[in-house]
Amino acid sequence: MSHTNNPPLKSAMTFTAMLLTHCQRALFSIPRSLGIVVGLLAALMPLSIATAAMPTPNVPEIAARGYLLQDFNSGQIIAEKNSHEQMEPASLTKLMTAHIIFSELRAGNLKLSTEVLVSEKAWRMGGSRMFIEVNKRVLVEDLLKGMIIQSGNDASVALAEHVAGSEEAFASLMNHHADRLGMHGTHFVNSTGMPAADHYTTVHDLALLTKALISEFPDYYKWYSIKEFTYNDIRQHNRNALLWRDKYVDGVKTGHTDSAGYCLISSALRDDMRLISIVLGTRSKEARSKESQKLLNYGFRFFETRMLYSANSQLTTSRIWKGASEQLSLGLAEDLYITIPRGRYDKLDASMKIDVQIIAPVVKGSSHGFVDISLAGSGVVERPLVALQSIKEGSMFQRLADEISLLFE
């Protein structure tokens, strides 16, 4: 493989000049020897007038046992502390309970109108409750809202028992989903987050779960921004104080036990940039809100997120040998977002590394190189270049002719 770094984008005018220059060079000097080097990738970046770079200060002091600030689209972690240390999640556990219920709804195994019979165990649950009554039937929709908005332990257990038969069996299902999401530092033993010796997670794992919940279930995620819910003539407010303080915040979940401290997962959307903030083990309700707000403000003030390339869009073509076609379209399997300090967009460079020889047959989605993004000379992200279509083997004559041509490459 070989590669070339492209000049950074500076303005619409330099972008146009650069594009024309690269196109002229590409038409007359496409290499056919030890590799294909592509210099047009930067031309696909969105147009932008560069803004003056500002200094990026250190992360503010965050009074929490562990924390993380992450961009939702790029997945880039902006700030973190003790993010892989195992800690108690308290009621943040209910995000996994909700994720499973949402999955059951999507699969058609449940409906929002399904009635759930409340067991004595669910009815007797202590802590935060939505005040369901034993042996009464409650709609799945009401139980979900009672769990999401009111953080009802009773609602969580009722849902868990309905789906899996018992809370213990549901916990096994939770661990299965956690493993699927890559939450390898997590183990659940209940659906509520009540303290238990073998019930733990990490800040990093909670970020994976939060991102999955938002991306997989956007319609249900909207319920996390609801400020109050009334059930059985009892009105309760959402415990996430940031829903009232910050108009950009639209979730997600609070948690508290004496051993876990005060916890909060927040998400905010501002100018198409979504950030996820997680703080565990703060000292008070006010502290979890204050420290979360610090992280969100820091991220929005000093960083920006851009989508550089769209999924399944052709970034380049490459010669393919012994195939029914001579050209293979290459692109990315997923949208490529990048989070960088504000004012540094013009310092980005992009290049491609493409396999030296690509031989048919080729299957759509197979990897044949990489896109490299660097900022001021330092690597930032690398993504596989994948085939955007399948190409079968060519005729016997085509294969023979290309075999001979390859001898001179």
- pLDDT tens per residue, range 308-363: 999 999 999 999 999 999 999 999 999 999 999 999 999 999 999 999 899 999 99
Rounded to whole angstroms, the Cα distance separating 406 from 162 reads 64
pLDDT at res. 7: 26
More confident residue, 24 or 389: 389
pTM: 0.85
State yes or no: pLDDT of 42 exceeds 60. no
Given 74, 83, 128, 151, the catalytic residue: 151
Instruction: Return mean pLDDT, the chain.
Output: 88
Tell me: domain 66-282, CATH 3.40.50.300, correct?
no
Name the least confident of 4-13, 83-92, 108-117: 4-13
Domain positions in the chain are 12-51+307-406, 66-282
Given 94, 145, 290, 347, the catalytic residue: 94
Tell me: domain 12-51+307-406, CATH 2.60.410.10, correct?
yes
Domains 12-51+307-406 and 66-282 share a fold: no
- Confidence tier at 236 by pLDDT (50, 70, 90): very high
Given 83, 91, 267, 292, the catalytic residue: 91
Annotation marks residue 94 as catalytic: yes
